[in-house]
Amino acid sequence: MADLLSEAEIEAQKPADWTVEGDELVRTYEFDSYLEGVGFAAGAGGLAEEAFHHPELTIGWREVEVRLTTHDAGGITENDTDLAARFDELAD
């Protein structure tokens, strides 16, 4: 199981566009259409399954909020920072 990251490690390892809210990494992606957001969420789900690490995904009007934390560790680990970076690649 991945170890919890310190605040300094999280700041150093998290992708720039993500914020820390309690025990979660959070980013809201914006899209030109609702269905683009749905498509992103589906792709993110595939990456999550591949990593066997699962975010909360909230699909809204032309936006998708992603929340990542490692439940098994009770906070943020490199599993979260790594998957966040992969989501950013998917969204680019």
The backbone region for 74, taken as left when phi is positive above 0, alpha when psi lies in -120 to 50, beta otherwise, is left
72 binds ligand H2B (CB under 6 A): yes
How many Å is the maximal CA-CA distance in the chain? 38
Determine the Cα–Cα distance for residues 21 and 52; give it in Å rounded to an integer: 22
52 binds ligand H2B (CB under 6 A): yes
Name which of 2 and 91 has its Cβ closer to ligand H2B.
2
Name which of 21 and 72 has its Cβ closer to ligand H2B.
72
Name the residues that contact ligand H2B, by CB under 6 A.
Answer: 52-54, 69-72
